[in-house]
Amino acid sequence: MKQFTSRMTALPEAAGMTGRSQGTTAAAALLFAGFAGFGAGSVNLATASSLLLSPAAGGFAVAGGVGAALWGTALLVWSVLSLQRGSLLRARTATALLLVASLVHAASALAAMAAGPSGLALSHLAALLLSLMIVAASGWLKRRSGGDPAGTGVVAQPRAGRLLLAAFASAVLVAGIATPGLAASTAGQYAVPHGEHGLPGVGSHHGH
C-alpha cells in the first residue's frame, strides 16, 4: 500500500518535470525564432540601404529597397510582439510570407552573384538562412501543438538555467549569420569601427 501511494505521489512530480522540460524546449524555440527575426529584419534593412544607396540604382532597385525596408521593419515588429505574447504571432501567415521572402532572397542572391562580386549577395544569403531558421522553429512549435498554429506558445514554466543557455546559444548563432550580412551591406561598409566612436575633436586632445 505504501509503495502504491508513493507511486501515485511520484506521478504528478514526473508529469511536472516533463511539462517543465517541454516548456523549456518550447521557450527556447520561441526565443530562437525571435532572435532570428531580429537578425533577418536587420539584414533586410541593411539590404535596403545597399539597394537605395547604390550609385547605379534604378527604378527596380529602388522598389526592391523600399520593399526590403518595409519587410525588415515588419519582421522586427513581429519578433517583438511574438516574444511579448509568448507565442508566434499569426504563425501560419508569417510562415507563408517567410517562405515567399526566402524565394526572393535566393533569386536575388543568384542574380547578384551572376552580375559579379557583390556584398549584396552575401546579405541576401544571410537573410535567406535566417528566414529559413524562423520557418523551421515555427514548424517545430506547430508540430508540438498538434498542428494548431495558434498553439505555438509556451504552456509550462521553463527551467531558467537551461533557457538562459539556449538564449545564449541562439544569440551567438544568429549573430554569426547576421553579422557578415550586415557588414557586406552599404550601411556596414560606412559604419564607424568599434573604438572610434566619440565627439569630434576629442581624440586630438589625447596626444597633447
Distance from C-alpha of 70 to C-alpha of 44, rounded to nearest angstrom: 9
Residue 137's nearest CA partner among 23, 29, 28 is: 29
**For the segment 121-154, what is each residue's pLDDT rounded down to a tens digit?**
999 999 999 999 999 999 999 887 765 555 555 5
Residue listed under C-alpha cell 522598389: 63
Q: Tell me the three cell numbers of residue 104.
A: 526572393
Residue 159's nearest CA partner among 16, 34, 33, 35 is: 16
pTM over 0.85: no
Q: What pLDDT, on the 0 to 100 scale, is given for residue 124? A: 94
Cβ atoms of residues 102 and 128 within 8 Å: yes
> Rounded to the nearest 5°, which phi and psi values hold at 139?
-65, -40
> Within the chain, which residues score under 50 in pLDDT?
1-19, 155, 194, 197, 199-208
Cβ atoms of residues 185 and 123 within 8 Å: yes
Q: What pLDDT, on the 0 to 100 scale, is given for residue 159? A: 72
